[in-house]
């Protein structure tokens, strides 16, 4: 499975510009990658006070990206501001070529940034599937909550996809948490984070990564580097690693409430 990570600046609140930039980068990946991974809220930036930016699942953003997926034969993953009835969601998506879209709403909303007052949290953990590979999407703040990501049977999923808007001021936490989720779940993890400045005075310095089962980064982005890099992940190697060292068999199946 070849997963391309797109690390680049997001134009604040400008859907048309951001979608156009994403499609240009995706077009360049035709024949080179199986999945293109975008940062969280790639089409707007982390805007939590602009309900006018919300779109339905059949709106401009998803429709345009689905056309790109079909044209360039590549699956596309990311999140956008979704409007459904009277509710808003930070909605993750996996758009596969010539297939029905798969969606997953962000579960943990970042109250410190006002996200809990803007969005409705997701209530179901969805496992995406593409070309026989099972993938769990964590959306930024979800990364902090290991129970939500727990790979209970050791085979619930093979890859964690992380779409984030994680600022430089807290990047040390990002570095630690991305690695921890890969180790404890015996899986690959591929995480996309932007670079540049947003409309709130925060700076983003990337640190997008793709860890293999031995915690080796397959991308090697430098701080603040803009660009696209591709990680080649071997599912056979991962399954062999799990068979040789089946740590998942010793995992707790439920929370320990009393000792």
pLDDT tens readout for residues 199-226: 889 999 999 999 987 899 999 999 999 9
Query: Bridge partners of 7?
Result: 227
Query: Rounded distance, CA 216 to CA 154, Å?
Result: 20
Query: Bridge partners of 129?
Result: 134
Q: Which domains does the chain possess?
A: 2-250 (3.60.110.10)
Measured N-to-C along each axis, helices 15-27 and 60-72 cross at an angle, to the nearest 10 degrees, of: 10
Quote the Cα angle for 119-168-12, to 5°. 50
pLDDT of 32:
98
pLDDT of 259:
47
Q: What is the pLDDT of residues 102-154, one digit of tens each?
A: 999 999 999 999 999 999 999 999 999 999 999 999 999 999 999 999 998 77
pLDDT of 87:
97
Q: Where are the beta strands (DSSP E) in the chain?
A: 2-7, 35-37, 75-84, 87-95, 102-105, 127-130, 133-139, 159-163, 188-192, 195-197, 203-205, 209-211, 227-232
Residues identified as active-site: 40, 106, 140
pLDDT of 212:
85
Q: In 3D, which of 89, 114, 118 has the Cα closest to residue 104?
A: 89
Query: Tokens in use for 92?
Result: 């993750």
Q: Percentage of residues in the chain with pLDDT exceeding 90?
A: 90
Q: What is the pLDDT of residues 146-181, one digit of tens each?
A: 999 999 877 899 999 999 999 999 999 999 999 999
Q: What is the pLDDT of residues 224-257, one digit of tens each?
A: 999 999 999 999 999 999 999 888 888 776 655 5
pLDDT of 255:
55
């Amino acid at each position: 499975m070849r997963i391309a990570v797109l690390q680049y600046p997001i134009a604040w609140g400008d859907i048309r510009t951001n979608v156009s930039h994403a499609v240009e980068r995706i077009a360049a990946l035709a024949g080179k990658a199986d999945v293109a991974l975008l940062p969280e809220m790639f089409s707007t930036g982390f805007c939590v006070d602009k309900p006018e930016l919300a779109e339905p699942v059949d709106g401009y953003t998803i429709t345009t990206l689905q056309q790109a997926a079909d044209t360039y034969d590549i699956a596309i993953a990311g999140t956008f501001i979704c409007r459904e009835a009277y509710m808003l969601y930070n909605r993750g998506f996996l758009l596969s070529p010539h297939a029905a879209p798969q969606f997953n709403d962000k579960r943990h909303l970042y109250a410190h940034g006002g996200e809990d007052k803007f969005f409705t949290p997701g209530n179901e953990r969805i496992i995406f599937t593409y070309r026989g590979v099972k993938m769990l999407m964590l959306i930024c703040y979800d990364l902090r909550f290991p129970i939500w990501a727990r790979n209970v049977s050791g085979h619930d999923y093979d890859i964690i996809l992380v779409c984030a808007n994680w600022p430089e001021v807290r990047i040390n936490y990002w570095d630690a948490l991305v690695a921890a989720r890969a180790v404890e779940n015996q899986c690959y993890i591929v995480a996309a984070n932007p670079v540049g400045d947003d409309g709130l005075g925060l700076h983003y310095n990337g640190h997008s990564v793709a860890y293999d089962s031995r915690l080796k980064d397959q991308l090697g982005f430098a701080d603040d580097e803009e660009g696209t890099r591709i990680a080649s992940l071997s599912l056979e190697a991962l399954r062999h690693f799990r068979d040789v060292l089946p740590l998942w068999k010793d995992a707790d199946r439920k929370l320990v409430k009393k000792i």
